[in-house]
Amino acid sequence: MNYHIDTKLVHGDHSYDQRTGAISFPIYQSATFRHPGLYESTGFDYSRETNPTREKVEKTIAILEGGSEGFAFSTGMAAIANLFQIFLPGDHIIVSNDLYGGTYRLFEELYKKYGIEFTYTDTSKISNIVNDTRESTKAIFIETPSNPMMKISNIREISEFARSRDWLTIVDNTFLTPYYQRPIELGADIVLHSGTKFLGGHNDLLAGLLVIKDKGELAEKLRVIQKTIGAVLAPFDSWLLLRGMKTLGLRMDKQQENAFKIAHWLKENRNIEEIYYPGLIEHEGHEICRKQASGFGSMVSFSVKDVNQIKKILKGVQLIAFAESLGGVETLLTYPMVQTHASIPKEILDELGVNDRLLRLSVGIESADDIIRDLEHAMR
């Protein structure tokens, strides 16, 4: 039966343990598993390779994204690092120029020295991708909405262009999750998540996830890479992630409702110069986001008119936490140029508009009125 996404979130790949009937799927906190005999296996041998609790997460995220196979890692960065092991020296990747600073650092400081080449461009415009095409191009890596400027890239259009050239389309779907956006259904080949964020939802775990569209050679490669490198998601964190995903829809709907209220309040605030939220009709990518996603999420970036307001706001918030990360039930405020994007050169940040007046708000599930009052108090 083809269930609605809300039902899939709760039940995933069977929400209970089929062997015992346990409604809460067990934490198999075991490094190794007993063999019945020589050349005989229960299907589980060693937890670096396979673990029942992690397997449950992997099957669930594949179902949610509409892919064929999922892979769970210890962090979002571990997921990207493992994925890029499929590329070879000389391969060229086109990347969204507005992206998480840790991803940029991974590409520039680690993978570039192995001969993989990266071109950063504004992927919200297909013409930029066309112009940056090389004979050695093998993939397009996009964030949409992007971090922190909330640019929207047309997943279907990019995927069709990539497919015509036999490239892979890789989409970081952390901000919208499969609850609001399913890139594989739009033509993407690989979807990745920092499961630490919305999927976990409670700021109590680190996790990374990959989902691939089709079984085959790519799946086999990733399976070997995953078990060989060993940066896998631990059983307890797998269980936390399973539990977190059950309430993803409820959380994201509330967070989005709050984000709309806060974005409209920011529009009227005399201290604010610019707001970046795809849910606003005037946002450049609003229409594309509306067509390819069922929601706009709860990430809101904004720039203040006076740079002196930054310290005042970050020091003055009481309900809101000045902290890195995003996607949890608590509202967090981040200063990208000092925190999440410190690894990106200033000239690139300046070009993007990530400057000393920009703040990024991850809206939580608290009362929107209380969040607004906290911001209002801090600005005064």
- Answer yes or no: are the C-beta atoms of 332 and 122 closer than 8 Å: no
Cis preceding-peptide flag for 148 (omega within 30 of 0): yes
Interacting residues of 332 by C-beta distance below 8 A, sequence separation 6+: 320, 321, 322, 323, 324, 325, 326, 361, 362, 364
Task: For the chain, count helices (H), then strands (E).
Answer: 14, 12
- Is 270 one of the annotated active-site residues of the chain? no
**What do you get for the CA distance between the two ends of the chain, in Å?**
55
Contacts of residue 86, Cβ cutoff 8 Å, sequence gap at least 6 = 218, 221, 222, 225
Active-site annotation holder among 13, 98, 100, 111: 100
Of 17, 48, 246, 261, which residue is the catalytic one? 48
Catalytic residue among 172, 189, 237, 374: 172
Among candidate residues 8, 138, 197, 251, the one labeled active-site is 197
- Concerning whether 290 is annotated as a catalytic residue, the answer is no
Return the residue matching tokens 């140029």: 337
User: Active site includes 98?
Assistant: no
Cβ neighbours around 363 below 10 Å, total: 28
DSSP 189: S
What is the rounded distance in angstroms from the CA atom of residue 64 to the CA atom of residue 4?
Answer: 10
Q: Which residues are catalytic?
A: 48, 100, 172, 197
